[in-house]
Amino acid sequence: MPSSPTEILLPHRPTDTPLPVAVTDSEQLSLFVALRAVPDPRDPRGRRYPLVSMLAVAVCAVLAGACTFAAIADWVRDLDRTAWVRLGFTDRVPAATTVWRLLIRVDAQALSAVLAGWLRARTTSDGGTGRRWRLVIAVDGKVVRGARLADGRHVHLLSAYDTSTGVVLAQVQIAAKSNEIPAFTPLLRLVAAQLGSLTDVLVVADALHAQTGHAEYLSAAGGHLMVTVKANQPTTFAQLKTLPWAQVPVGARTRETGHGRTETRTVKAVTVATPGRLGFPHARQAVRITRTRTVKGRTSRETAYLTVSLPAGAAQPADLGAWARAEWHIENRLHYVRDVTLREDAHRARTGNGPAVFATLRNTAVGYHRANGEPNIARATRRANRRSTDLIDAVTSSNPTTQ
């Protein structure tokens, strides 16, 4: 039970509706086959268009840069009749209000699971095959500023991001930013369902998630936690700061120059030999990362303290530095793109599951283009919009590298 009576706002599902049945990896290569696992929320008497076709149109349109429900309808309306037939329509396509009415009612959790599975089936990790390589999942929240709940608060979503592939593995909706803490475990349960287990998975998160309950849950599930520690854990923070860092040699140092600045990062790590020495469960190493940045002749320095539940043999300083930077991938490579390129904060969708569903579509667009090796998502969406026939070919093909 969470320490506060916080409600985790997961998408509504009738109690008698079963979870979608998983399909094989080979079937998931086709978007149309994968989407069959999403439950249809509509009354059977009012189904004018196939659910799979409607959802496929939404996915394709957002892959092509659509930022609103109306833009989704415009995208499919502008296609020729041959494309309509390939998408499962005949002599007419849905209006914007029809698209809106469906997407605000679709089970966002089921849709997220299906689309994450589809992307994972088509994606190969860009991680190395080295002895210490492991799957790193970044967890972070994002406020959808254009959408509000009935009480006037912004919609807030917590996501788990595979840093090796760019795929969002799971997403939950919560009431407010302060409520990320109790949503952490339900989110990781969805990740475990997607991956099969959390064994040997490393979860990286910011200081908000330096919680003993999170560490206990991951340890019991066979996973590991790496978190920044700040004043929200005063005892551990004080112990980390007072360790004899001056006597610890630098384990790794990186230097980067670009965008008018020079940044140097030094990583020091020390094994915690005494159980419970840091007052944080399962902590095996204490880490200090110092970032020195010079911009236009002005130098600033920032020091971060972290704990990780992996021993030194499985997590060398160079690994720790890379994993700490991976925690920012969810912000720089996902949330920033959703805001700037796909205009999430400007979208005022706020009814039903609409905000969570559209965020899932945006996650899918970013993950799909990243999997195709696209560093610039804006350019990728423009290309997909110009080549709509190629896009439809790609999402229906069994060849992940198409388009």
- What one-character-per-residue DSSP string does 205-242 give? E-GGG--HHHHHHHHHHT-EEEEE--TTSHHHHHHHHT
229 with 275, same domain?
A: yes
CA atoms within 13 A on the CB side of 45: 0
322 with 355, same domain?
A: no
B/e letters for 78-117, b = 16+ CB within 10 Å, e = fewer, are: ebeeebbebbbbeeebbeeeebbbbbbbbbbbbbbbbbbb
CA dist 230 to 217, 236, 307, Å?
A: 21, 8, 11
97 with 19, same domain?
A: yes
Residue 32 token pair? 């149309």
Beta bridge partners of 371: none
Residue 15 token pair? 């109690």
User: 198 by DSSP, 3-state: which?
Assistant: coil
User: 397 by DSSP, 3-state: which?
Assistant: coil
Q: What is the pLDDT of residues 108-152, one digit of tens each?
A: 999 999 999 999 998 865 555 555 678 999 999 998 887 777 677
Closest CA to 225 of 161, 135, 310, 166: 310
pLDDT at 175: 62
254 with 302, same domain?
A: yes
Say if residues 204 and 329 touch (Cβ distance below 8 Å). no
23 with 97, same domain?
A: yes
- Kind and range of the H or E run holding 370: helix 354-371
319 with 369, same domain?
A: no
21 with 90, same domain?
A: yes
256 with 318, same domain?
A: yes
Tokens 């998983």 correspond to what residue? 22
231 within a domain of the structure (yes/no): yes
178 within a domain of the structure (yes/no): no
374 with 311, same domain?
A: no
- Cα 396–Cα 397–Cα 403 angle in degrees, nearest 5: 100
User: 369 by DSSP, 3-state: which?
Assistant: helix
Closest CA to 212 of 348, 220, 71: 220
Among the candidates 326, 355, 380, a domain finishes at 326
226 with 293, same domain?
A: yes
207 within a domain of the structure (yes/no): no
Instruction: Provide the edge-to-edge strand list for the sheet that holds 8-9.
Output: 8-9, 168-174, 154-162, 136-148, 202-205, 224-228, 298-308, 285-295, 261-271, 252-258
pLDDT at 117: 94
- Cα 111–Cα 397–Cα 29 angle in degrees, nearest 5: 40
174 within a domain of the structure (yes/no): no
Quote the domain boundaries for residue 30. 8-111+347-396
243 with 286, same domain?
A: yes
309 with 255, same domain?
A: yes
141 within a domain of the structure (yes/no): no
pLDDT at 402: 45
Among the candidates 266, 296, 326, a domain finishes at 326
161 within a domain of the structure (yes/no): no
Can you give the pTM of this predicted structure?
Answer: 0.86
pLDDT at 376: 94
Q: Looking at the 3D structure of the chain, how many domains does it have?
A: 2
**254 Cβ partners below 8 Å, 6+ apart?**
264, 265, 321
312 within a domain of the structure (yes/no): yes
Low-confidence ranges of the chain (pLDDT < 70): 1-28, 124-132, 150, 175-178, 274-277, 398-403
147 within a domain of the structure (yes/no): no
Q: What is the dihedral of CA 283, 139, 130, 269, to 10 degrees?
A: -30
Residue 36 token pair? 């069959």
pLDDT at 274: 62
pLDDT at 180: 87
